[in-house]
Amino acid sequence: MGDASRWKWSPLATWSLTAVASLVLWCVEARGSRLKAILVISLSLSSFIIGALAGFLFTSYGEETATVGKVRDWLIGG
């Protein structure tokens, strides 16, 4: 067995693997149709953006809490 602490998984490798997997899945799902490919890619990217915004709002900390916290409270309360 090799030493596991010697090999590190980098964020670049994670993003690269995610990008390649996304491209493969988009091609499989489109099944040769340009319209399906556009719809699948737009759904995927919009879901990512919504998730990133939600993650930003719910994980704010430090000085950001004072400004972003008000927006978060307004969104939850509204």
List pLDDT tens digits, range 8-54.
778 899 989 999 999 999 999 999 899 999 999 999 999 999 998 88
What's the pLDDT at 58? 73
pLDDT given at position 38:
94
**Helix pair angle (11-30, 34-58), 10° resolution:** 140
pLDDT of residue 11: 86
CA quadruple 53, 55, 45, 15: dihedral sign? positive
Q: Tell me how far apart the 2 most distant CA atoms of the chain are, in Å.
A: 55
Which secondary structure element, helix H or strand E, spans residue 31, and what is its range? none
- What's the rounded Cα separation, in Å, for the pair 20 and 34? 19
